[in-house]
């Protein structure tokens, strides 16, 4: 098959599956793209995945680059003051307890941490889209949810970076963590310096070029280069892209940047989830099926606890906090990113977990209104 024909067929397949999944089956696009990739890989329709992998890498970088543009250094600091207690509870339950469960089930420390990383973060894209569909974005409980998602979006790239740093072997030491921390500090310090010094002085020039066609090329170059610089340091492109976004978050061309990059992100991001589906190996059995069931159940309990107790610390009522807990179970982007570090049966384990929790999370989100109103009615009687 020639390259233009292959690319064209992939775009058509993505469109058709997205329409079927979103409009008919009401399944998030992330899930439907993974299923499409898994189907293509299972039946062997597409052997050469390098093109999809490269396109997915660009989409992933732009996803977190745009996320970074939403937070200046000052906004990150202010947001942290509101949800740090809830965020730490979320990290303890999602990473600490989950790793303990996996380790107690006989997994080694690295695999246990990998499973914990897959379990930790709620899918921001799925959750935000569900909130939009229910017109809940302006609700008080939704503001807490979004704040907690932001905390996770800040913590998860660091977790990804740590896991990548540890992926070379199954043992680690305090010096390994220190070395990773120093590299992250170098990357973050350079981003803050560029944001406050370099781009601050270049704002006038940036405003002039923002309306030129070549501005998109410049912004893509900054995002992808800084993501690549993170990889050069042995870190994740995710944290590099996120920091690149922070560099531009405090400039006067922030809105123009988001405007020109968003269509490009939407073009490339489906390939990331498609590539994950392609990478699933169906010749491997799911290891520890019992552990998978336990982890799925625990991941729902984990988010219920983080939403319920953390929501009350934030200032929500018990009923509002319960609704939040029921709305946070979907896993997505970061789970897929961390699952990319897995191999063999563990990757199938991760893929099954992501698909199950995405669908269960959607169901619990829909039920959260009914359960919330039922609890309110019972408490008022």
Let me know: does 247 contact 199? Beta carbons within 8 Å. Answer: yes
Helix/strand number for the chain, H first, E second: 18, 0
**Domains of the chain, CATH where assigned:** 3-380 (1.20.1530.20)
Give the single-character DSSP code of 285. Answer: P
CA nearest neighbour of 215 among 176, 177, 251, 180: 251
Q: Is 94 left (phi over 0), alpha (psi -120 to 50) or beta?
A: alpha
Structure token digits, residue 356: 């199950």
Let me know: does 158 contact 120? Beta carbons within 8 Å. Answer: no
- Give the pLDDT score at 381: 59
Q: Is 288 left (phi over 0), alpha (psi -120 to 50) or beta?
A: left
- Give the pLDDT score at 170: 47
What is the end-to-end Cα distance of the chain in Å, rounded? 67
For the packed helices 318-326 and 344-380, what is the interaxial angle rounded to 10 degrees? 150
- Rounding to the nearest 10 degrees, give the CA dihedral for residues 354, 356, 357, 361: 140
DSSP of 62-77? HHHHHHHHT--HHHHH
What tens-digit pLDDT sequence spans the chain (381 residues)?
A: 677 887 888 889 888 888 887 778 777 777 788 888 878 777 766 655 678 888 888 988 888 888 788 777 676 676 667 788 999 999 999 999 999 999 999 888 888 989 999 999 888 777 876 776 677 766 778 878 878 887 887 777 778 777 776 766 545 566 767 777 788 888 888 888 887 776 667 777 777 888 888 889 989 998 999 989 988 887 778 788 888 888 888 777 888 888 999 999 989 988 888 887 787 666 566 668 899 999 999 999 999 999 999 999 988 888 889 889 988 988 877 788 888 888 778 888 888 898 888 888 888 887 887 776 776 666 665
- Give the pLDDT score at 136: 72
Let me know: does 326 contact 371? Beta carbons within 8 Å. Answer: yes
Per-residue b or e along 204-226, where b marks 16 or more CB atoms closer than 10 Å to that residue's CB: eebeeebeeeebbeebbebbbeb
CA nearest neighbour of 340 among 168, 156, 121, 118: 118
Let me know: does 182 contact 120? Beta carbons within 8 Å. Answer: no
User: Considering the entire predicted model, what is its pTM?
Assistant: 0.75
Return the residue matching tokens 């937070």: 71
- Give the pLDDT score at 91: 94
- Give the pLDDT score at 254: 84
């Amino acid at each position: 098959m020639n390259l233009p024909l292959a690319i064209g067929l992939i775009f058509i397949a993505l469109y058709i599956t997205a329409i079927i999944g979103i409009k008919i089956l009401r399944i998030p696009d992330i899930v439907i793209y993974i299923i499409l990739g898994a189907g293509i890989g299972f039946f062997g329709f597409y052997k050469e995945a390098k093109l999809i992998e490269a396109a997915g890498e660009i989409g992933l970088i732009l996803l977190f680059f745009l996320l970074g543009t939403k937070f200046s250094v000052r906004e990150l600091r202010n947001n942290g003051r509101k949800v740090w207690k809830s965020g730490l509870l979320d990290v303890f339950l999602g990473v600490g307890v989950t790793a303990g469960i996996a380790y107690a089930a006989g997994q080694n420390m690295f695999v246990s941490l990998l499973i914990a990383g897959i379990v930790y973060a709620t899918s921001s894209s799925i959750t935000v889209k569900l909130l939009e569909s229910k017109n809940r974005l302006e609700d008080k409980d939704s503001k807490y949810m979004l704040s907690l998602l932001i905390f996770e979006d800040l913590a998860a790239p660091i977790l990804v970076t740590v896991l990548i740093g540890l992926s070379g072997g199954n043992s680690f030491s305090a010096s390994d963590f220190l070395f990773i921390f120093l590299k992250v500090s170098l990357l973050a310090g350079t981003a803050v310096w560029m944001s406050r010094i370099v781009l601050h002085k270049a704002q006038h020039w940036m405003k002039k070029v923002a309306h030129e066609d070549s501005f998109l090329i410049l912004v893509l170059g900054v995002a992808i280069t800084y993501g690549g610089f993170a990889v050069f340091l042995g870190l994740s492109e995710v944290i590099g892209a996120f920091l690149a976004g922070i560099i531009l978050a405090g400039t006067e061309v922030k809105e123009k940047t988001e405007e020109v990059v968003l269509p490009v992100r939407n073009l490339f991001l489906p390939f990331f989830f498609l590539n994950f589906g392609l990478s699933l190996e169906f010749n491997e059995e799911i290891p520890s099926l019992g552990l998978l069931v336990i982890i799925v159940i625990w991941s729902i309990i984990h988010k219920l606890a983080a939403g319920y107790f953390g929501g009350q610390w934030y200032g929500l009522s018990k009923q509002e906090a319960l609704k939040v807990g029921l709305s946070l179970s979907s896993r997505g982007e970061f789970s897929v990113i961390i699952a990319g570090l897995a191999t063999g049966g563990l990757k199938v384990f991760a893929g099954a977990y992501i698909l199950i929790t995405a669908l269960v999370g959607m169901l619990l989100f829909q039920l959260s209104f009914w359960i919330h109103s039922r609890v309110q009615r019972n408490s008022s009687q």
